[in-house]
Amino acid sequence: MPDEDRKRAAHRALVDRVLSGAGRASAEQRARAFSNEGLAPPLRGLVGKVATTPTQVTDADFAAAQASGCSEDELFELVICAAVGQSARLYDAGLAALAEATDSGADR
């Protein structure tokens, strides 16, 4: 499946970059934003909304995160990690259901 390999490879390149490449936020914070786990407030609130209820993000969520000491560049990265993380979980869940339905786990 060369075409699919290209899509998955392009997705993995994005995930690997935001998690493991150079950043202003620590790799540990980015991993927590990606998984939407283990962050302290107020970042927990902002990242949780990005992952699960993004239309409810407000200016106040960003203001609180900045007031707690996060720079704009760190927030840029952590919001992206949260969005990419939630999407990656959906992608994996869909592919897992497909693998189960076709009984061809090797495709993953």
Partner 1 sequence: MRLDILNRGYGPGATLLFALIRLFSGHPVPDAARLVFYRPDFYGTRAKAFTHEVMRGPSGWSAGDRELMAAYVSQVNESAFCIGAHSATARRAYQDGAKVQAVLADLESAPVEEPLRATLRMLGQLTAEGELSAADMRDVLSAGVSPQQVRDALAVCAAFNTTDRLADAFGFEVLTPEAFDAGAKYLLKRGYR
* Cα dihedral across residues 80, 83, 86, 92: positive or negative: negative
Work out whether 1 is an interface residue with partner 1 (CB under 8 A): yes
- Residue spans of beta strands (DSSP E) within 2-99: none
Work out whether 77 is an interface residue with partner 1 (CB under 8 A): yes
Identified binder of partner 1 from the candidate list 38, 68, 72, 105, rule CB under 8 A: 72
Identified binder of partner 1 from the candidate list 4, 41, 68, 105, rule CB under 8 A: 4
The residue type of 73 is D
Work out whether 37 is an interface residue with partner 1 (CB under 8 A): no
Work out whether 70 is an interface residue with partner 1 (CB under 8 A): no
Interatomic CA distance for residues 38 and 22, integer angstroms:
21
The count of residues interacting with partner 1 (CB under 8 A) is: 49
Q: Using an 8 Å Cβ cutoff, are 25 and 32 in contact?
A: no
The residue type of 2 is P
Q: Kindly list the residues in this chain that would bind partner 1 in the complex (CB under 8 A).
A: 1, 3-4, 6-8, 10-11, 13-14, 17-18, 21, 23, 46, 49-51, 54-55, 57, 59, 62, 72-73, 75-77, 79-80, 82-84, 86-91, 93-95, 97-98, 100-102, 104, 107
